[in-house]
Amino acid sequence: MSGNVLKLGIPKGSLQDATAALFEKAGWKIKFSSRSYYPTIDDDEIECLLIRAQEIARYVADGVLDAGLTGKDWVQENRVEVEEIADLVYSKTSDRPVRWVIAVPNDSPINNVKDLQGKRIATEAVNMTIDYLKQHGVTASVEFSWGATEVKPPKLADAIVEITETGSSLRANNLRIIDTIMESNTKFIMNKDSFKDEWKRTKVERIVLMLKGAMAANRKVGIMMNVPRKSMEAVMKILPPNTKPTISSLTDDAWADLMVILEEKLVREIVPDLKKAGAEDIVEFPLNKIIH
Amino acid sequence: MSGNVLKLGIPKGSLQDATAALFEKAGWKIKFSSRSYYPTIDDDEIECLLIRAQEIARYVADGVLDAGLTGKDWVQENRVEVEEIADLVYSKTSDRPVRWVIAVPNDSPINNVKDLQGKRIATEAVNMTIDYLKQHGVTASVEFSWGATEVKPPKLADAIVEITETGSSLRANNLRIIDTIMESNTKFIMNKDSFKDEWKRTKVERIVLMLKGAMAANRKVGIMMNVPRKSMEAVMKILPPNTKPTISSLTDDAWADLMVILEEKLVREIVPDLKKAGAEDIVEFPLNKIIH
Amino acid sequence: MSGNVLKLGIPKGSLQDATAALFEKAGWKIKFSSRSYYPTIDDDEIECLLIRAQEIARYVADGVLDAGLTGKDWVQENRVEVEEIADLVYSKTSDRPVRWVIAVPNDSPINNVKDLQGKRIATEAVNMTIDYLKQHGVTASVEFSWGATEVKPPKLADAIVEITETGSSLRANNLRIIDTIMESNTKFIMNKDSFKDEWKRTKVERIVLMLKGAMAANRKVGIMMNVPRKSMEAVMKILPPNTKPTISSLTDDAWADLMVILEEKLVREIVPDLKKAGAEDIVEFPLNKIIH
Amino acid sequence: MSGNVLKLGIPKGSLQDATAALFEKAGWKIKFSSRSYYPTIDDDEIECLLIRAQEIARYVADGVLDAGLTGKDWVQENRVEVEEIADLVYSKTSDRPVRWVIAVPNDSPINNVKDLQGKRIATEAVNMTIDYLKQHGVTASVEFSWGATEVKPPKLADAIVEITETGSSLRANNLRIIDTIMESNTKFIMNKDSFKDEWKRTKVERIVLMLKGAMAANRKVGIMMNVPRKSMEAVMKILPPNTKPTISSLTDDAWADLMVILEEKLVREIVPDLKKAGAEDIVEFPLNKIIH
Amino acid sequence: MSGNVLKLGIPKGSLQDATAALFEKAGWKIKFSSRSYYPTIDDDEIECLLIRAQEIARYVADGVLDAGLTGKDWVQENRVEVEEIADLVYSKTSDRPVRWVIAVPNDSPINNVKDLQGKRIATEAVNMTIDYLKQHGVTASVEFSWGATEVKPPKLADAIVEITETGSSLRANNLRIIDTIMESNTKFIMNKDSFKDEWKRTKVERIVLMLKGAMAANRKVGIMMNVPRKSMEAVMKILPPNTKPTISSLTDDAWADLMVILEEKLVREIVPDLKKAGAEDIVEFPLNKIIH
Amino acid sequence: MSGNVLKLGIPKGSLQDATAALFEKAGWKIKFSSRSYYPTIDDDEIECLLIRAQEIARYVADGVLDAGLTGKDWVQENRVEVEEIADLVYSKTSDRPVRWVIAVPNDSPINNVKDLQGKRIATEAVNMTIDYLKQHGVTASVEFSWGATEVKPPKLADAIVEITETGSSLRANNLRIIDTIMESNTKFIMNKDSFKDEWKRTKVERIVLMLKGAMAANRKVGIMMNVPRKSMEAVMKILPPNTKPTISSLTDDAWADLMVILEEKLVREIVPDLKKAGAEDIVEFPLNKIIH
């Protein structure tokens, strides 16, 4: 028999507010209290726990949590088995996955993974680094770094394995990347037993459906315009292929109302052309969610 | 003869920003200046005055103000007569009314109002407390508290009468509630003479209509979707009873566009079912106001 | 032959965030970095440079920049020739143009421009002041002020030429205005040669079209309502003349759906009347852009 | 028989940090915790309670506290009897006592206390105001003001009774002072029974002795200088009368070392003269406490 | 042959500012830059490196650093061998050593180390915990905790090993201490080879001498007073035994000047008695350093 | 006949707080108010005016001010004649004078002042730059820069003339220095007529004497120690030559008390040697002022 509460791990720290904002767009309000690690959520079927992304995979694998949001990197670093339900992309700006890279000082003689033999590597991701070196048949001293890893070479380490998005912090510390160990992004993961529980799996699927709806709306907008019936074909050609606009009849038969969902970025490209093709009163409006 | 300016009291302090936000959604922009107690409003027929909620009822009763926003509690504490025009609920999160309760230390022998006989009670609401005790035939020493009332028992008071929403501050100070004196919420009140002035009453009614429209939109969203004509009945069954969707004809006769206003929280419950029933391109969008 | 990058000057300082917000509504994301004066923008055809509004006109005139946003005042102060493409109004609140005025102490014997003969004038706009005095045949000592100009009279100057919106800072320093030198507002300007380059001019026109669309949406909202066919005429009379509502057929032939874009401020005026005329389920929703 | 703990009220709010700083100079460390109203102090014989200055007199009078720091004004407002042990002056800058004054609008016809007959007075000090009016045989409506009292005239009150140090806030609100009700400063007060308890009185006297030593050092500094024996008389004449310098013998009999405690402000006046009179190596050093 | 630069590790984080303040009192100015991990110091013979206390012992043991400041706990957690030169006590308030304790939920059946057999323990100090359990013959699962360890029991751990000073954070999380693993405080440590280098050892000894001088001055003050020769014996009896006051001759032979260094806290106890014994003009002054 | 008020210009901005701190050490309390440009000072003979350092020289030269604190650079930039009374060094850290330098991009072909012929130079110090170029017979376009000058090359300028202390901001912008135009530091300047007024000159001299006394104490400390008479010679040899210690007789004839003022930085060097030579109870104490 199945329980009726889903224990969900929310990542504490840099992703915390973005996670709450995404859930709010999806329809759930998570509230943090400064002293508690049990955020409240307005759904009696969910129980949240706020913990570091580094630890969520471990607790989901153990079954202490049914599900959680964490990076693919920390799943691997913890060397655990979980169900990966969905990829989540949080913000409009950073849709690139982050990368864990090996970096060395610009003037280091180290140029590839083989050159790391016998060297000293500082990293927050010790297991991931050891596994990677083993695959390449390299033995090195891998030391756990409590922070500020990028300032350690060359005095405190020969190389580092560090997370980076744009590489700018590495460059600022005069480091160059010699290899990428893995690309990572946020995952919605489940415990393998919880995944077999129908109630829990269905609950997670509904949450994920809404989260995806909210993410889809992040970069899209609605466009409404009045189009003369005779210009409809010309207007349709300007819209991207595969777009399915909603065309409503108006009382004035010579005109129709066209409503369509578009990538926000596309709007600035096609609006001048739509206008030229005869569309009038073009209005853009914001969306909360899109479920295709 | 009637004047053409409505003097309106805006509560200074914790409700101040929420009040301005509500008025902005309703269509009026109130701007505060750090040094002035006369906020500007973009309506020549309204003159705002920013004062403490505790004092608004008194000034409305006196006729210094025509109308104002304040709590039901402070109307009663000031022991004045005013017209109560409407209840206002400000935020999405705290739709519960607040309560004034009697609280005593967890280990106090006091268990009900009768046990307060001859005791020392600290409160910010002295009149309300005295009236309540009188109703129960109890005599006690009621002292005005300038703040931090909840830390006073047991050294500085035997009991307190204090406002609470969730009770958490009381629990944190090891106090337990023995009775509720009153429930309160924000009211839009009018002076009794101003209420008889037709211009002023009509002005207030229009403001209240818009404020209510803005409040209604706070928890609701718009949903649009394309529905196959043949699935329309199934889709309609999923929507809550009494919902009146707007169904527009599309150029493709096999489909219709359905638009409906729903409780935001309901969306996460029914979207998966709507999709299963055949609805496509389900889009949720935000609203500013809803006037039924 | 035309280049394919538009060099655009963004005004650093008080207008910086409002400029980025306007561009975001228009469809371009500008991101500032605390250490760089080259903001990023998500359009490979634009290269931004963040500089003081005072300097933008000079660099646009020189051709170092193709285009930029700056005040009409600084174009004149720099005494340069540029193409003025469009007026921009940034925010909902301050749609008044700012003014450069001559101000003197309340108790000064100076009452008009003639009285300035031989006096000492402090200002940040030295050229503009000299030009103005020359037009009136007045000679005076005009000194560049590095800031806090309004506190200089009477000790450090006899008069000042200063920018003002509401005059409140002048009043607070016991100054009165004796003349207005110019009214200014933000302009989208282009270099004269860049303007002749078709690619650059077209690019600028498209940007300006979208900026105007975003500005238009700033004060407007969408209104949807269900209207009985028989009440349609009454409802149409309440709407402002020249409004072109979109009227959609509904499945229930006795009703139509009316959608119209209105000044936000008008809504509070007409909604009560619309309701009285028979409209139901009146819903207001926010807009991102309006392209007429 | 006497107890061995002194219950001491520390005023919460504007004086809180200055009080702790004074006690630290005097030799006691008081530490506040953001959640507790029981500050810790490094003296097992003292128990601190942090409450509003307005309430301290009441609790000292009741015996809930043995002693406390509060204003003379709040002792009078609470209409209680306590022992006044010492005046305390906290900071270098504001050694003037504060005043409670009656203020009216600049253009009010009210010019003296008699003119207040039948008027409406807003104040935070209701009892003090009523007592004052009674002494002058005047009857008026005295209303408790929850704050921002100085903005109430002329709309919400005819006059106010308010605390002021420099009068600048009153002037900024276009009010003029028509009378002073009382001058107040901070007092170290004791409960009358506690005062009779020898242990408690002695404890308080020792605390007050050290507080006064710390206050005395606030405006004073130590000065050391080498003085030729033959110039000693000239140097002594420059020092203020009643100064008792410490003159130490040096190994070189022609010189002596003179050390003296002076008002800090005096130093800038006499140092040039001391130098002229023959003093060398004049050194000023800071002091923590001075017990004469 | 010896080098002439001492590589010194400064602990980043909570101790960072206190460390710099202590060095400043001792005579060295360390300046941090927000982007660099190489603080500057005004001594060409010292090179600072700013790293986490957790890592300093490891780098000192390796010889990457000659010396450093870190906790005794982290020396043990890193399982390395270093020379411990001196204990450092930083602040006036927390002179107690911190403790690493085992804590369990208040209602846990675990009461001593033996009960931990087979349990799950979360801690930031994995090695220290494992070594401790081994000494007691206990086997348990010890998991590295990335933070917020005290909220993990009972859901995420059965027990924790955590650092505590007052125990208040543990109590706030409903945990009770069942054993203390170790007491720790800050140590000045040296690499074993650097210790054998005479120049480096001497350099460190001089630094430590000055640091201790600064620490000694932290709780002490200077007291000067004028004492009648005839009262000297009485005054000397009030001073603590083993005090060595400096007694200077005055020009007036009937008096002497007595200067003595005392615990600041003692001053408030003996000043009233000194005064009673005849001492006059008792002055307390602050000290920077005391080298006995 | 002379007036009895000295009008003194205080530099607004980066030096403002340091100036007030220096005056406070010297014996004058300057207080700024957020809205006023007339700081108060506790000396009826001084009237302060808070203005930008760039403008002070101009107003001192004009006689609007009698005296002021500003940089040597701004005296020269304003091309005015004033009396330079004293050099002021404000802080312990930056005792180097600042420099105005010519900087060009690292990869610029410009290598010396001659190469600037016909180039475009951005600077806040236009006159200073023009005068310098004229001395070298170079003609170039010198443009006033409103800020962020260091980011202008190479796009907006070929070279810049900018103020620098350490050169780090220039390096961060990939600029190299090709010449130094001038070194500057803060000066106490007087109007030439005010300088001839005896009262004003004497007043300024007294202020400057005290300012210098405060600056002298900034880097110095007092040291007291007990020295055995027989070790006195050895101790004296360790002290720097030209030191004049105060040696006081003690009641115990075998010992003397030695007091001396030393550079703070020297203390860490000689204290170990003093101890070895027999000195005991070495105490360092802070100073406010030193007038030699």
- The DSSP annotation for C127-184 comes to HHHHHHHHHTT---EEEE--S-GGG-TTTT-SEEEEEESSSHHHHHTTEEEEEEEEEE
Q: Are B52 and D151 inside 8 Å of each other by CB?
A: no
Which residues fall within 8 angstroms of residue F83, CB to CB, at 6 or more apart? F189, F190, F191, F192, F195
- Contact of chains B and E by CB distance (3 or more pairs under 8 angstroms): no
F125 has pLDDT over 60: yes
The CA distance from B291 to the nearest CA of chain C, in Å, is 5
Q: What is the pTM of this model?
A: 0.82
A120 has pLDDT over 50: yes
Share of chain F above pLDDT 90, in %: 73
Q: What pLDDT does D90 receive?
A: 66
C3 has pLDDT over 80: no
Q: Mean pLDDT, to the nearest integer, of E116-135?
A: 96
- The alpha helices in chain C, defined as continuous H runs, are 16-26, 53-62, 72-77, 126-135, 168-172, 192-196, 198-218, 232-238, 264-276
Which residues fall within 8 angstroms of residue E277, CB to CB, at 6 or more apart? E231, E234, E235, E238
List the end-to-end C-alpha distance of chain B, in Å, as a whole number: 33
Please report the DSSP string for D162-218 in residue order: EEESSSHHHHHTTEEEEEEEEEE-EEEEE-HHHHHSHHHHHHHHHHHHHHHHHHHHH
**Angle formed at CA F211 by CA F210 and CA F215, multiple of 5 degrees:** 115
Q: Mean pLDDT, to the nearest integer, of A239-264?
A: 85
What would you report as the CA-atom Rg of chain C, rounded to the nearest whole angstrom?
25
Handedness of CA B141, B142, B147, B153 (dihedral sign): positive
3-state SS, C106-133, equals: CCCCCCCHHHHCCCEEEECCHHHHHHHH
**Arithmetic mean of pLDDT over chain E:** 90
Residues of F in contact with D168 (CB under 8 A): none
C95 has pLDDT over 70: no
Nearest CA in chain A to B280: A292
The CA distance from F172 to the nearest CA of chain C, in Å, is 10
Please tell me which chains touch F, using 3 or more CB pairs under 8 Å as the contact test: C, D, E
Nearest to D267 among F27, F248, F292 (CB): F27
List the end-to-end C-alpha distance of chain E, in Å, as a whole number: 33
**What single letter denotes the amino acid at residue A283?**
V
Q: What pLDDT does D94 receive?
A: 54
Report CA dihedral (D196, D197, D203, D205) to the nearest 10 degrees: 10
3-state SS, F139-202, equals: CCEEEECCCCHHHCCCCCCCEEEEEECCCHHHHHCCEEEEEEEEEECEEEEECHHHHHCHHHHH
Nearest to B267 among A27, A31, A244 (CB): A27
Which residues fall within 8 angstroms of residue B277, CB to CB, at 6 or more apart? B231, B234, B235, B238
Share of chain A above pLDDT 90, in %: 73
Q: Mean pLDDT, to the nearest integer, of E38-63?
A: 93
Please report the DSSP string for E149-217 in residue order: GGG-TTTT-SEEEEEESSSHHHHHTTEEEEEEEEEE-EEEEE-HHHHHSHHHHHHHHHHHHHHHHHHHH
Q: What pLDDT does A91 receive?
A: 52
The full length of chain F comes to 292
Q: Mean pLDDT, to the nearest integer, of D132-160?
A: 92
Q: What are the beta bridge partners of residue A290?
A: B283
For chains A and B, CB pairs below 8 A equal 78
Q: What pLDDT does E92 receive?
A: 42
Residues D234-272: tens digit of each pLDDT: 999 999 987 878 888 777 788 888 999 999 889 999 998
Which residues fall within 8 angstroms of residue A116, CB to CB, at 6 or more apart? A102, A110, A133, A138, A140, A158, A159
Residues of E in contact with F92 (CB under 8 A): 29
Q: What pLDDT does F91 receive?
A: 52
Q: What pLDDT does C193 receive?
A: 96
Residues of D in contact with B49 (CB under 8 A): 155-156
List the end-to-end C-alpha distance of chain A, in Å, as a whole number: 33
Q: Are A247 and B248 inside 8 Å of each other by CB?
A: no
Q: Are A287 and B284 inside 8 Å of each other by CB?
A: yes
C224 vs C267: CA distance, rounded Å: 12
Nearest to E51 among A52, A59, A148 (CB): A148
Please report the DSSP string for B183-215 in residue order: EE-EEEEE-HHHHHSHHHHHHHHHHHHHHHHHH
Which residues fall within 8 angstroms of residue A21, CB to CB, at 6 or more apart? none
Q: What pLDDT does C241 receive?
A: 86
CB C52 within 8 A of CB F148: yes
| Rounded (to 5) percent helix, strand, coil in chain E | 35, 35, 35
Strands, E, within chain B: which ranges? 6-12, 30-31, 40-41, 46-52, 67-71, 83-88, 98-105, 120-123, 141-144, 159-164, 175-184, 186-190, 220-228, 246-249, 255-263, 280-285, 289-291
Q: Are C284 and B213 inside 8 Å of each other by CB?
A: yes
Q: Quick one: pLDDT band at residue E30, thresholds 50, 70, 90?
A: very high
Candidates C72, C2, C8; CA nearest to C204 is: C8
Domain ranges of chain B: 6-89+186-217, 98-184, 220-286
φ, ψ of residue A244 to 5 degrees: the values are: -115, 85
Nearest to D248 among E257, E272, E280 (CB): E257
Report CA dihedral (D76, D79, D82, D83) to the nearest 10 degrees: 30
Report CA dihedral (F219, F224, F225, F230) to the nearest 10 degrees: 90
The CA distance from F148 to the nearest CA of chain D, in Å, is 39
Give the H or E element holding residue A121.
Answer: strand A120-123
Mean pLDDT is lowest, of B81-90, B198-207, C72-81, F131-140, for B81-90
Q: Six-digit token pair at F7?
A: 């009008």
E82 vs A94, residue with greater confidence: E82
Q: Quick one: pLDDT band at residue E2, thresholds 50, 70, 90?
A: very low
Which residues fall within 8 angstroms of residue A142, CB to CB, at 6 or more apart? A121, A123, A126, A129, A130, A133
Q: Judging by DSSP bridges, how do beta strands F67-71 and F6-12 pair with one another?
A: parallel
CB A36 within 8 A of CB A158: no
Nearest to C206 among A250, A272, A282 (CB): A272
For residue F94, count other CB atoms closer than 10 A to its CB.
13
Residues C172-231: tens digit of each pLDDT: 888 999 999 999 989 999 999 999 999 999 999 999 999 999 998 888 999 999 999 999
The CA distance from A160 to the nearest CA of chain E, in Å, is 15
D157 has pLDDT over 60: yes
Candidates E86, E69, E96; CA nearest to E212 is: E86
Report CA dihedral (E233, E234, E240, E245) to the nearest 10 degrees: -40
In the numeric block, the tokens 């014989």 are attached to D45
CATH topology of domain F220-286: Alpha-Beta Plaits (3.30.70)
Q: What pLDDT does B163 receive?
A: 93
CATH code of F98-184, in short, is 3.40.190.10
C6-89+186-217 with C98-184: one CATH topology? yes
Q: What pLDDT does F2 receive?
A: 45
Q: Six-digit token pair at C256?
A: 């139509």
Q: Six-digit token pair at C165?
A: 């919106």
Which residues fall within 8 angstroms of residue D24, CB to CB, at 6 or more apart? D30
A10 has pLDDT over 70: yes
CATH topology of domain F6-89+186-217: D-Maltodextrin-Binding Protein; domain 2 (3.40.190)
Nearest CA in chain D to E279: D292
Residues of B in contact with A211 (CB under 8 A): none
For residue C197, count other CB atoms closer than 10 A to its CB.
18
Among chain F, residues having any CB pair with chain E shorter than 8 Å are: 92-93, 221, 224, 226, 248-252, 257, 264-265, 267-268, 271-272, 275, 280-286
Burial of C173 (0-12, 13-18, 19+ CB in 10 A): buried
Share of chain C above pLDDT 90, in %: 73
To test the contact with chain E by mutation, choose from D246, D253, D283 the residue with the greatest count of E C-beta atoms within 10 A, namely D246
B103 vs B120: CA distance, rounded Å: 12
F217 vs F199: CA distance, rounded Å: 27
E248 has pLDDT over 90: no
Q: What pLDDT does B94 receive?
A: 54
pLDDT tens-digit profile, chain B (292 residues): 445 899 999 999 888 999 999 999 999 999 998 767 889 999 999 999 999 999 999 999 999 999 999 999 999 999 999 999 999 876 544 556 789 999 999 999 999 999 999 999 999 999 999 999 999 999 999 999 988 899 899 889 999 999 998 888 898 888 999 999 999 989 999 999 999 999 999 999 999 999 999 998 888 999 999 999 999 999 999 999 878 788 887 777 888 889 999 998 899 999 989 999 999 989 999 999 888 7
Nearest CA in chain B to D9: B156
Q: Are F290 and D267 inside 8 Å of each other by CB?
A: no
**What single letter denotes the amino acid at residue A106?**
N
Q: Are A271 and C210 inside 8 Å of each other by CB?
A: yes
Please report the DSSP string for E44-98 in residue order: TTEEEEEEEHHHHHHHHHHTSSSEEEEEHHHHHHTT---EEEEEE---SS--SPE
CB C95 within 8 A of CB C89: yes
Residues of B in contact with D54 (CB under 8 A): 146
C30 vs C24: CA distance, rounded Å: 7
Angstrom distances, CA of residue C144 to CA of C129, D267, F54, F144:
10, 41, 10, 12
Residues of B in contact with D64 (CB under 8 A): 155-156
Give the H or E element holding residue D243.
Answer: none
Share of chain E above pLDDT 90, in %: 72
To test the contact with chain E by mutation, choose from F251, F261, F273 the residue with the greatest count of E C-beta atoms within 10 A, namely F251
Q: Are F147 and C52 inside 8 Å of each other by CB?
A: yes
- Contact of chains A and C by CB distance (3 or more pairs under 8 angstroms): yes
Encode F180-193: b = buried (16+ Cβ within 10 Å), e = exposed.
ebbebbbbbbbbee
For chains A and E, CB pairs below 8 A equal 39
Q: What pLDDT does F1 receive?
A: 40
Q: What are the beta bridge partners of residue A131?
A: none
